[in-house]
Structure 1
Amino acid sequence: MDVVYVEPAVPLFGLGRSGPHPSRVRQVDGLLVVSPRMLPRGRRSGLSLLTALWTAAVVRWVCRSEPAPSVLVTAAHPLTVRALRPWRTELLLKDDYVAGAGLINVPARRVERHRRALLGLVDVVSVVSPVLARAAASMGARTPAHVIPPGCEPGAHSADPAALLADVSAPRAVFIGMVSDRIDVELLGAVCAAGVTVCVVGRQQTTFSSSDSWAPHLRSGRIKLLGEQPPAVVAGLLRASDVGLLPYVASAFNDASFPLKLLEYLAAGLPVVSTDLPAVQWLDAPHVHVVRSADDVGEALRAALDGSSSPGTSRRLEQFVAAHTWRVRAQAHLALLAASGSDG
């Protein structure tokens, strides 16, 4: 069975995404991945219909030699799914963009309307967290949602990060991601107060509203902003760190998410200190230390650092992440689509 994974369309001329665009069509772990292009501002209400039809046309052209492929989408206009009928379709929900509509500056009602329409059209629904499974059911999904979280790539190629870490003292905690209103600045401050240097691999969002409380930590030198880095450098930074951080505030959007960095940390052999996210509890991974307030950070860091220096930690994490690779995830999606075809 051929399966095509349709990524969200990205603008032409290099807008909307940092770094180089991926190839328009490529093979990844048994899936045919299609990366459509769209006009700038192609998600605006007037152009979104054109983008939807163009996306469907691109997918049909790519699959012109395959009479009935299955299609996996993560973010699509309902018109795209209708235009791909009668092919089998799976919707993968990776975030609760109804709860997070303000983060992407899109009206929540529009996001909810599209989400409900998609849930009523597709043959299979998969989600990255149990919270999203409940949300899909409440929005009228016609089939039960299957929880398939993100994956990881153990043993990913890494580059030497020595130049970036020349003035970064140990022990080191690492946070991969954007500095935004999703993160708990107080928790990061507690990490710094415990004598641990925090390496932030990512950029600061222009709308970040906690700059006043963030600035003193930068001035102290305990938080190092390393900016966005290529994947090989990120892998090297993880291997040169002692603890991975998931410092998220409590919110409906964060509760529904499954941070990709969680499995990336574990695949690099890092213990993790995390706020109490439902996805973290669901994964139930070893060497993940959950904190419910900044007061818990010191004890959690001590336990994580003790684990980081233990040879048994790497072995146990290696065994755990073997069941959570991207290849395992791809096989799970293939199995779901195959089952939906046999049922139909």
Structure 2
Amino acid sequence: MTTARRGRFAGLDIVWLQSPPWHGVWTRQNHFARRLAADGARILYVENPVAIRARIKAGRRAAAPQEVEPGITVMELPLQLPGSRTSSLIGAINGHRFAGAVKRESARLGFGCPLVWCRLPAAIHTLERLAPRGVVYDVTDDYDYYATSEAERALTRRREQRLAARANQIFTTSEELRTKLCSLASTPVTPVSNGVDSMFFDDSPRDDPLQDVPHPRIGFVGLVASWMDFDLLSRLAAKWPKQVVIVGPVKPEVEQRLAAIPGLVRVGAVPHREVPTYLRAFDVCIQPHVINELRHRSDPLKVIEYLATGRPIVSVALRSLEPLRPVVELASTADDFVRLVAERIDDPRAELALSRRAVAATRNWDTLYLTVAERIERLWRREAR
């Protein structure tokens, strides 16, 4: 199947390999993919594989590939055999199966020789069975720190070294990650931070989606996973029962921990376009993550979205957020976190609203995309020779 495209990247095909679900919590993958598609590229967005146990529990079959926006087709991979995180052999078997599915869908779409955009070190097993014209590696975390054992950490490092060596362009969300990747590859490494959509700045009147929740409302929006500090959430919910709001999907492995906290208001996943409406309904926005090396090296996207609304923000103190200290309250302990939330309820420091928005405006996705587009075009033109 072929579709005529117009724009700067007309004629460019991109396989976006093993990324978060398109309809889940939006990440930089969604934002950059849709902008490249709007510029004429055709994109096959390949979602992360699902484990067999998770698919059985969900009770559904894999969905057929679907065009979600002009130029963007989303596909699911075959079920993932368990053990890929700790076994090179199983990773290679899964990669062989995934590459076959990607090749078949690419052929159906009429893709020629695409660029491949990778996000995870484990994608190297699929990538090595494809024949791309170029490879982009977008590094959003220090993946070493997801490992639960030294053996898994060593395997992750080997995979990342192989992927970095194959990449023609590397993006990182922080200078700290850029330094690390520069030690692994001689290819260009360009820091491009996380950002925010312009719609988050819009303060037009909207219906209140939390009409039944009394003020003050303390709210979090994002994926609830192992990086949440559930003990801190418990303290907040005990102090402000039925006023701490959690908006976003919950990873199955932490569902029981979240459900055990009384007093939380759980909204669940909402479409990305509705997120700003919830943020404007909060009195204080929070980021109650655990403080560890993995989180220190991250670039929390939700904090930038919070800033765009002008609302007061309380977050755990992460190294990556230190530059935002003038507009974000950073707590080093749980006691500090609860105290700062109480202070911002009493005094939201409304005089900082414009400063918060101004900081977010420097991280607009449209502006950040200019750097990505320039690098992609340079890579595309060079590899097309």
Q: Per the shorter chain, which TM-score range?
A: 0.7 to 0.9
**Contact 2:216-2:283 at 8 Å conserved across structures:** yes
Paired residue for 1:260? 301
- Paired amino acid for 2:80: R
The 3 A distance-change label for structure 1 pair 274 and 50 is same
- Paired amino acid for 2:296: D
Which residue of the other structure, out of 321, 327, 332, is the alignment partner of 1:280? 321
* 1:207 aligns to 2:248 (yes or no): no
Question: What is the rounded CA distance, in whole Å, between the counterparts of 2:73 and 2:168 in structure 1?
Answer: 20
What number of residue pairs does the alignment pair up?
A: 327
Which residue of the other structure, out of 337, 349, 354, is the alignment partner of 1:315? 354
Q: Residue 255 of structure 1: CA displacement?
A: 2.1
Q: Residue 91 of structure 1: CA displacement?
A: 0.5
* 1:297 aligns to 2:297 (yes or no): no
- Paired amino acid for 2:76: R
Which residue of the other structure, out of 316, 319, 327, is the alignment partner of 2:366? 327
CA-to-aligned-CA distance 1:213-263 (integer Å, 9 cap, x gap): x84x51xx3x22222223344322111001111111122322222222112
- Paired amino acid for 1:142: S
Percent of pairs identical after alignment? Answer: 21
* 1:52 aligns to 2:99 (yes or no): yes
**Contact 2:223-2:251 at 8 Å conserved across structures:** yes
Paired residue for 2:269? 228
Paired residue for 1:146? 190
Which residue of the other structure, out of 330, 336, 340, is the alignment partner of 2:375? 336
Q: Residue 174 of structure 1: CA displacement?
A: 0.9
Superposition map of 1:109-128 within 5 A? 109-128=154-173
Q: Residue 27 of structure 1: CA displacement?
A: 6.2
Between 121-130 and 312-321, report the one with greater CA deviation: 312-321
- Paired amino acid for 2:157: E
CA-to-aligned-CA distance 1:165-215 (integer Å, 9 cap, x gap): 40x221111112344431223433454466483101134444339949x84
Q: Residue 342 of structure 1: CA displacement?
A: 7.7
Paired residue for 1:74? 119
Q: Residue 100 of structure 1: CA displacement?
A: 0.8
The 3 A distance-change label for structure 1 pair 61 and 146 is farther
Name stretches of at least 5 consecutive residues in structure 1 with no aligned partner.
none
Which residue of the other structure, out of 129, 132, 138, is the alignment partner of 2:177? 132
The 3 A distance-change label for structure 1 pair 122 and 304 is same
Paired residue for 2:230? 185
- 1:35 partner SS: strand
Q: Residue 285 of structure 1: CA displacement?
A: 6.5
The 3 A distance-change label for structure 1 pair 173 and 299 is same
* 1:240 aligns to 2:281 (yes or no): yes
Paired residue for 2:28? none
Q: Residue 23 of structure 1: CA displacement?
A: 6.8
Which residue of the other structure, out of 74, 77, 94, is the alignment partner of 2:140? 94
The 3 A distance-change label for structure 1 pair 137 and 85 is same
Between 39-48 and 246-255, report the one with greater CA deviation: 39-48
- 1:317 partner SS: helix
The 3 A distance-change label for structure 1 pair 285 and 125 is farther
Question: What is the rounded CA distance, in whole Å, between the counterparts of 1:277 and 1:326 in structure 2?
Answer: 22
CA-to-aligned-CA distance 1:249-294 (integer Å, 9 cap, x gap): 1223222222221122112222211111122125x27521111001
Q: Residue 328 of structure 1: CA displacement?
A: 2.0
Question: What is the rounded CA distance, in whole Å, between the counterparts of 1:270 and 1:341 in structure 2?
Answer: 41
Question: What is the rounded CA distance, in whole Å, between the counterparts of 1:183 and 1:301 in structure 2?
Answer: 17
CA-to-aligned-CA distance 1:302-321 (integer Å, 9 cap, x gap): 553466462x4443333322
- Paired amino acid for 1:98: D
CA-based RMSD: 4.0
- Paired amino acid for 1:301: V
CA-to-aligned-CA distance 1:132-152 (integer Å, 9 cap, x gap): 3343245x2223532212221
CA-to-aligned-CA distance 1:81-127 (integer Å, 9 cap, x gap): 45665623221012233321349xx9444433321111001111111
**Contact 2:236-2:244 at 8 Å conserved across structures:** yes
- Paired amino acid for 1:47: N
**Contact 2:172-2:189 at 8 Å conserved across structures:** yes
- Paired amino acid for 1:199: V
Q: Residue 51 of structure 1: CA displacement?
A: 0.9
Question: What is the rounded CA distance, in whole Å, between the counterparts of 2:342 and 2:288 in structure 1?
Answer: 16
Question: What is the rounded CA distance, in whole Å, between the counterparts of 1:63 and 1:331 in structure 2?
Answer: 28
- Name the TM-score, length of structure 1 as normaliser: 0.76
Question: What is the rounded CA distance, in whole Å, between the counterparts of 1:317 and 1:325 in structure 2?
Answer: 13
